[in-house]
Structure 1
Amino acid sequence: MPECQNCGSFVTTAYARVFAPDGMDHPRVCPSCEDMVRDGAEVRQARSPRNT
């Protein structure tokens, strides 16, 4: 089962297929990672809070 590399939350296979880097099965961040964004090969804190 795919899971977020940052927080370990479950993600759907469809989410992983779209948001995981090519050749990887697990995304680096997910919707459960509040205020975290992908930045190249890294995950960092968002510069401004997300509005949900």
Structure 2
Amino acid sequence: MPHCRNCEGFVTENYVRVFAPQDMSTVRVCPNCEDKLRDGAEVREARSTRQN
């Protein structure tokens, strides 16, 4: 089962297919992560809290 490497939260296989770097079976950060976010090909600390 795919999971987020940052928070260990569940992510779907489709989410991994779209957002994981090539040849990775999981993502480095997911929409549930409040402290990190994707920035292009990198992951960085969030500058502010997310407004969900």
- Do Structure 1 and Structure 2 share a fold, with TM-score over 0.5? yes
CA distance in 2, matches of 1:27, 1:17: 9
Aligned to 2:22: 22
Gaps of 5+ in 2: none
Taking every aligned residue pair, what percent have the same amino acid on both sides? 59
Aligned to 1:32: 32
Q: Is structure 2 residue 11 aligned with structure 1 residue 11?
A: yes
Give the alignment's Cα RMSD to 1 decimal.
1.6
- Letter aligned with residue 15 of structure 2: Y
CA distance in 2, matches of 1:3, 1:49: 22
- Letter aligned with residue 11 of structure 2: V
Residue correspondences, number: 51
User: Normalised by the size of structure 1, how large is the TM-score?
Assistant: 0.77
Gaps of 5+ in 1: none
